[in-house]
Chains A and B, each alone.
Chain A
Amino acid sequence: MSAQRLISNRTFQQTVSNSDYTWEYEYYEIGPVSFEGLKAHKYSIVIGFWVGLAVFVIFMFFVLTLLTKTGAPHQDNIESSEKRFRMNSFVSDFGKPLDPDKVFSRQGNEESRSLFHCYINEVGHSDRAKAGHQTTAIDSAAQLQEAIRGSRRAEEELNRLMKFDIPNFVNTDQNSFGEDDLLISEPPIVLENKPVSQTSHKDLD
């Protein structure tokens, strides 16, 4: 009963020419399908498809899990250091509540600090020009704050700002804010457009 559709017996006529025979698509009466002489089980495609799909998803999950344990250290170093340089430049530019010492403590030495100062002027100006207005820099500082986790102060501010952000799963542990949240949830940049800009306006004035 419920298998019947609206147009159950419909045939679609398409007369191509005025000749004696006409095209007719009778795609509802396919005709009886013989089930004789089947070598494998008749539901083999169904079973094979679903098993294959499950195996693929589980395989994908294991690949992702393995990536968390091993992965590409080369790409790791380049990417993380590059992003750290860019992010850190904006922190210093701003003179934001983040303690620059704590920012730079992760790098360690004076050399890198001077390198940052050089880089700061480059990146700061170019990115400011690109951004055009203040909120971009403010938002980048917001993202920066959440990237730098070493300092307790950053973490406190982070917790304050991150209450807008989402843990994907119920997050009862304050310290388990991970990058995966940034990955899957919406970015703090977008969320904290208003609150951060309000905060930083207060700070800058």
Chain B
Amino acid sequence: MKHIIHSNGNLNDTVRNNSDCPHVALPEEIFFVISIAGILENLIILLAVIKNKNLQSPMYFFICSLAISDMLGSLYKIVENVLIMFRNMGYLKPHGSFETTADDIIDTMFILSLLGSIFSLLAIAVDRYITIFHALQYHSIVTMCRTIVILAIIWIFCIGSGIAMVIFSHHVPTVLTFASLFPLMLVFILCLYVHMFLLARSHARNISTLPRANMRGAITLTILLGVFIFCWAPFILHVLLMTFCPRNPYCTCYMSLFQVNGMLIMCNAVIDPFIYAFRSPELRGAFRRMMSYS
């Protein structure tokens, strides 16, 4: 994946016509601001869960896992920008071994963040599904021990996959695996939430709730899944186009928007706390208490 992530660097040597699609370059400051906002928000969530005993339940642990992956993604962007600044100032050699190793490490961090995000969202959806459909046995199915084991398995798998993908990033099957994870997870999460939504709708019908409540459920679901899709699909398409049609002019024009696509992933790290973590009044209360004490 390294060649995909870093391929947009070299513009000096290629001859470009006037009709080319120029690379859309976003100022570094935007990336810095978004990344720092992402890190701060997710750090607040982690601190709130660590400090409050009543927030230490399986559901909040999954939300913490999501917060950690978002933080890793933002951290990746900050470290990358810092390294580029050093290189531009001449402190780093372009082909040195330190730079290569640093590059590998931050690429692993990036892929780890993506995979961690995907699996955390999946875990949150499954947890909510069990809550609704196996409500009576929830506490025996989702125990703290199992939660920790599942999270450990997820992260070990993500770390292993991240390292493997960085090592084998030049092979097509790696790219295909990476790109196919996204639609698979999306479909699975969509099915879970739609099933939950159907149950909610059937209960609401018996109780003659206002139709407004159902509309709100539809809006909430659309926001959850829409943010997921809008923030990730552009980058996944970029990865696919880079692998399969790097010389096609249409594909090149799409890939010229690489920085915008990367920024969308950073935005996902900023938006996720608002649609998952800060929905909970307990967590909001814990956050307010933390702010009032400090």
Contacts and interface: CB of A to CB of B under 8 A. Distances in A.
Interface string B199-218: 11111111101111111111
A57 B226 contact: yes
Contact of A25 (B20, B170, B214, B246): B170
Interface string A50-94: 000100110011001101110110011001100100100010000
Contact of B8 (A3, A76, A130, A176): A3
Contact of A190 (B15, B131, B140, B281): B131
Contacts of B83: 6
Nearest to A61: B222
Given A3-B259, A42-B249, A64-B222, A183 B132 contact: yes
Interface string B209-250: 111111111111110111001100110010001000011111
A35 B17 contact: yes
A46 interface: yes
B215 A176 contact: no
A28 to B, nearest CB: 4
A122 interface: no
A143 B132 CA distance: 10
A178 interface: yes
Nearest to B4: A27
Contacts of B19: 35, 42
Given A6-B99, A35-B17, A178 B198 contact: no
Chain A's interface size range is: 35 or more
B interface majority secondary structure: helix
Which of A42, A46, A184 is most buried by chain B, counting CB atoms within 10 A of its CB?
A: A184
A179 B213 contact: yes
B180 interface: no
B84 A194 contact: no
Nearest to A128: B136
B213 A178 contact: yes
B109 to A, nearest CB: 14
A10 B13 CA distance: 13
B59 interface: yes
Interface in B99-130: 99-100, 102-103, 128
B250 A131 contact: no
B9 interface: yes
B20 A64 contact: no
B257 interface: yes
B182 interface: no
A102 B14 CA distance: 78
B289 interface: no
Contact of A180 (B13, B213, B230): B213
Contacts of B25: 1-3
A72 B198 contact: yes
A65 B213 CA distance: 11
B87 interface: yes
A42 B23 CA distance: 13
Interface residues of B, number: 100
B279 A68 contact: no
Interface stretch (B35-43, B67-75, B88-96): B88-96
Interface in B155-170: 170
B233 A53 contact: yes
B254 A49 contact: yes
A187 B131 contact: yes
Contact of B92 (A6, A53, A57): A6
B247 A80 contact: no
Contact of A53 (B137, B217, B220, B230): B230
B9 A57 contact: no
B138 interface: yes
Given A64-B197, A68-B211, A168 B216 contact: yes
A144 to B, nearest CB: 9
A68 B201 contact: yes
A175 B204 CA distance: 12
A149 interface: yes
The 3 closest A-B pairs by CB, nearest first: A178-B213, A180-B217, A5-B9
Given A32-B14, A65-B218, A178-B200, 4 more contacts: A7-B100, A31-B14, A76-B202, A140-B136
25 contacts: A5-B80, A6-B9, A7-B9, A8-B9, A8-B10, A25-B170, A30-B247, A32-B15, A38-B250, A42-B21, A49-B233, A56-B229, A60-B222, A61-B222, A64-B222, A80-B206, A163-B281, A178-B213, A178-B214, A180-B218, A184-B279, A186-B128, A187-B138, A189-B131, A191-B282
